[in-house]
A = this chain, B = another copy of it.
Amino acid sequence: MLITFEGIEGCGKSTQVDLLFDYLNGKGHRVIKTREPGGTAYGEALRDVALRKNIEVFPLSELLTIMAIRAQHVEELILPALQDRAIIVCDRFVDASYAYQGYGRGIDLGIIETLNRLVTKGVRPNLTVLIDCPAGLGLKRKAKNDRSLDRFEKENLSFHRKIRNAYLKLAKEDKNRFFVVDGKAKVSVVSTIIRENVESLLIRYGFE
């Protein structure tokens, strides 16, 4: 079972990934928490390079770096975990490429789809939780965390608005897979809503 989380910077994604992981873990499930870009030793090392602030990266090169990371992630971690009937909770996956490199950077969506198909080897998320939140709120939250911002976080408000709208569009186009939560709500409220949704999914797939 693959559960992915998507959303703009500062939407509360990582917090909710942690909370869901702890919850499922506490219930005795075999759960793996992972993220993109990253998730493997090779992928995390590429991520470090790809997010560096002071380096200029062309959109196509950025996309191919993300795809290199995803190819490694799928083969090294996700496919074996799925065969092992583990529950994978993943912070960003295929949809982030459409949102960021497609709608955000302007790369042709068909190219992204072709590459996603090549690297995922048929893996599709069973559930994608989109934590929706206004771009201004997300950026304000990020700025509060007292650390330097990476290449994506440094983008301006209009870029992050584009990403938010892209995610909402993607969710609308694939209603069966996406579950949209209001990221403006309290952390505990958001986590409860997500838990309920995941619980019904686990029952449906025979995990409970």
Contacts and interface: CB of A to CB of B under 8 A. Distances in A.
A42 B64 contact: no
19 contacts: A41-B55, A41-B56, A42-B61, A45-B49, A45-B55, A46-B65, A58-B71, A58-B72, A58-B75, A58-B76, A61-B69, A61-B72, A62-B68, A64-B64, A64-B67, A64-B68, A64-B119, A65-B68, A111-B118
Copies of this polypeptide in the complex: 2
Interface residues of A, number: 27
Interface of A: 41-42, 45-46, 49, 52, 55-58, 60-65, 67-69, 71-72, 75-76, 111, 115, 118-119
A41 B56 CA distance: 8
A68 B37 CA distance: 14
The main secondary structure of chain A at its interface with chain B is helix
Nearest to A47: B49
Contacts of A56: 41-42, 76
A151 to B, nearest CB: 11
Given A45-B55, A46-B49, A61 B71 contact: yes
